């Protein structure tokens, strides 16, 4: 398995997950229709992130977008269909931003240096996509969108892809220590790193007033220390 080449070439390359196809990709329509469709999606993203799926009635969405209810049903068969597309669009945008942000990882440097770069870049993307992540957490922690299985499938895909992203960042950072060592550190820390960013996101949403850059710096230091200890333990075991 050529894991080292994959990790160093593009840490945020797609993993083969099949994201839902957004409906406007299948049915382009005219320019005016596309504009109203985007206005609906923009309004739905804001309102659902703030109020949750249950609190985003069609009346509220119509008021926020300035469009009549009939426009919603013209573009989307149901509120569940609208949520599904909001989540698909948000997932595409989030991971596109991750790929762009991490397209040119640093060459050389220590695992600590590389982790600092990856964690900082990840934090920057999270700050820019708070509405999408807020809605994601609402759906993760409630059953209010059970009627929208496609949206919930997207939630699962986002979580899986996020964990894969974290694993690749850790693996790439520790690869100079060896493929087996990098894999062991990634095994140890991928869930920890994901959970840390979950907490950072909730902290931002709750107004804790601690900057993301400070969180990511502390996370990188902690992960580097844990990873270095794991590599040292593997080295001692190999010498026995």
Q: Give me the chain's average pLDDT, please.
A: 85
pLDDT at 192: 97
Residue 182 falls inside a structural domain: yes
Residue 1 falls inside a structural domain: no
Mean pLDDT value across residues 160-166: 95
Closest-CA residue to 181 (of 146, 113, 221, 232): 232
> Which pTM was predicted?
0.82
User: CA quadruple 78, 80, 86, 91: dihedral positive or negative?
Assistant: negative
pLDDT at 70: 87
Domain that holds residue 215: 19-239
The per-residue pLDDT for range 3-46, each reduced to its tens digit, is 443 444 344 434 444 545 444 444 445 555 566 788 889 989 98
Residue 112 falls inside a structural domain: yes
How many independent structural domains does the chain possess?
1
How much of the chain exceeds pLDDT 70, in percent?
85
Residue 7 falls inside a structural domain: no
Token readout for 196 is 């840390």
Quick check: 220 pLDDT over 50? yes
What whole-number distance in Å separates Cα of residue 84 and Cα of residue 62?
A: 18
pLDDT at 33: 59
Residue 14 falls inside a structural domain: no
Burial 147-165 (b: 16+ CB within 10 A, else e): ebeebbbbbebbeebbbbb
Residue 100 falls inside a structural domain: yes
Q: What CATH number is attached to the domain comprising 185?
A: 1.10.357.10
Mean pLDDT value across residues 140-163: 88
pLDDT at 55: 87
The per-residue pLDDT for range 173-218, each reduced to its tens digit, is 999 999 999 999 999 999 999 999 999 999 998 888 899 999 999 9
The per-residue pLDDT for range 113-124, each reduced to its tens digit, is 999 999 999 999
Residue 11 falls inside a structural domain: no
């Amino acid at each position: 398995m050529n894991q080292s080449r994959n990790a160093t070439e593009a840490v945020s390359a797609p993993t083969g997950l099949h994201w839902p196809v957004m409906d406007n990709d299948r049915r382009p329509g005219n320019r005016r229709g596309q504009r109203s469709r985007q206005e609906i999606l923009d309004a739905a993203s804001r309102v659902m992130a703030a109020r949750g799926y249950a609190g985003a009635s069609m009346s509220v969405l119509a008021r926020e977008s300035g469009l009549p209810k009939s426009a919603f049903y013209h573009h989307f068969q149901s509120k569940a269909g609208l949520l599904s597309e909001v989540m698909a669009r948000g997932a595409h945008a989030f991971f596109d931003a991750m790929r762009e942000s991490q397209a040119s990882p640093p060459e050389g440097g220590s695992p600590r240096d590389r982790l600092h770069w990856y964690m900082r870049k990840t934090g920057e993307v999270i700050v820019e996509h708070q509405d999408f992540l807020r809605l994601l957490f609402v759906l993760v922690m409630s059953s209010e969108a059970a009627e929208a299985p496609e949206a919930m499938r997207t939630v699962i895909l986002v979580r899986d892809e996020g964990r894969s992203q974290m694993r690749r960042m850790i693996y790439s950072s520790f690869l100079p220590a060896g493929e087996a060592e990098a894999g062991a550190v990634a095994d140890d820390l991928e869930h920890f790193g994901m959970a840390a960013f979950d907490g950072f996101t909730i902290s931002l949403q709750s107004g804790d007033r601690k900057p993301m850059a400070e969180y990511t710096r502390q996370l990188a230091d902690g992960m580097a220390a844990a990873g270095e200890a794991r590599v040292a333990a593997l080295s001692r075991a190999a010498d026995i």
